[in-house]
Structure 1
Amino acid sequence: MTASALAAQGLVRSYAGPGGRVRTVVQDVDLSVSQGERVALVGESGCSKTTVLRALALLDRPGRHDGGRILLDGVPLTRARLAGTGRRAYRKAVQYVIQDPAASLDPRRDLLSQVLLPLRYLGLGDGRQEREAMAAHQLMSVNLPDRLWRRYPHQVSGGQAQRVAIARALVVSPRFLLMDEPLSGLDPATRRMVTDLLAHLARPGSPGKAGGAAQPGGAAPPEQGPALLMVCHDLGAACRLCERTLVMEAGRVVEDVATSQLLNAPGHRASRALLDALAPATDVITPANPDRQGER
């Protein structure tokens, strides 16, 4: 694990079942994502991929049967570290996009206002005018037409809602972006557009960093976009987007390997099962090559 990393060590998560029985769904998970990396977390449905992601996003409440540590830059997240402004600082560094983006949008707010919210919550931007400029810039970077900005969530498609959710996460310039099934439920054209967007996130001048242009307020563009940890059950999506893949089975990470190596020589039965289920396609078995994707 590098110094600039988001990590989990010995992560355990459990739920109370019928009769008070404890069911452990995440078992001693170790993982890390370094700055600039794109990592896929794959596995069959029900293997607790989302539970791991929610733990990293600090959206669960660990119980007495749970354990493990979340670390940012090698430092464990303790209650003391998250006290005061610590939790907001973590939200600035780590953003999370849930599987159903429309469900995360406030039905009473238009799309531009949705992207404004994290800026206001985190105290970013110098007043409403600058925040609106930052939000508008981010919506443009995800190719959402300005004619849609004043519409409400129920007035746009699922793919458009997905772009708003991505823009809302990226507008605070996070260092780490957690995404749960970002391509599920999208039509083929929108799926390709979102795939291309995510493929360029970790590159210089990425949409996550205002397209490489100076941001409102005169800040210089950072050198690269956020690191990506993407949950998916589709190994094909992992091939297209991520250099490294973690394979989960029954609440455990059973393989952590370069995506290219996973495709050529899967080392675990769960990895082989996912690979066997990958539909034959001419453009799927090309791992993490955004330059080629831009030619399609």
Structure 2
Amino acid sequence: MSAATHSGHTPYYFVPPPSAYPVLTAIGLFFVILGAGQWVNGHEWGKFSLFFGLAWWAAVIFKWFSQAIHESETGLYGKRIDTSFRWSMSWFIFSEVMFFGAFFGALFWSRIYSVPTLGSLDNQILWPDFKAVWPSLQAGATAAPGGTVEPFHTVGPWPLPTLNTALLLTSGVTLTIAHHALIAGKRATTIAWMWVTVLLGATFVGVQAFEYHHAYTELNLKLSSGIFGSTFFMLTGFHGFHVLVGMLMLLFITLRLMKGHFTPQRHFGFEGAAWYWHFVDVVWLGLYAVVYWM
């Protein structure tokens, strides 16, 4: 049952009424996973399930978020809800830290322990042709016995990864400028810098898509290119997805700013998106150093 409120008064702690949105969202995600799983296994009907699920999911999320925005703008979210949102976003970002930590751990373990061990004297009888060399240290090294992985070349730090690093770092600066402008009550300035931030994020995604095309078509670097290929695309691919999600978050925040939402005193929706974006920036710095330079 929703919290009882009087006109013009914020409830002690707003509790929304029962909603069908969580179940409807789960239905959409079911078709997404079903379709993706079938499509990658050669069933053409899987793509229709995937796209149907994405469309369903997007429609439900739009309605759900619109309801939450309406609740916020009509004064139903007080200080305690704001605190709940802050804790929720903090734990969500912590879960993302653990998510990327697992992939960084896989990269570290493979490079520092697994590959040298497989190339040791104890394994020479089983795999006499194995090269215990990490591919980023030796161009074209597949680190595979019997030619099970096609020769490939790695992606160096210049120019695209370095360009993307500059784009993300610059976007963090423009986002911070927008935040300070919002606190100062300069809405027009905030909106302008937010659009710059969104553009920088979209450009990053475009540059990474070009980098992937270059890796597949010219370097023969693929997800199937041994442990190097799998860790490279898992780390950079998931990060790119997070950049896309963060860019969409900032886009919606910008559109809300243009509608007059948020005040210098109450704008956690803006702050939550900014926290996420700065987290994405920090993860990229780790990726840039470990994946492209080392």
Q: TM-score, normalised by structure 1?
A: 0.22
Higher relative contact order (CA 8 A, sep 6+): 1
Work out which of the two has the higher radius of gyration on C-alpha atoms and give 1 or 2: 2
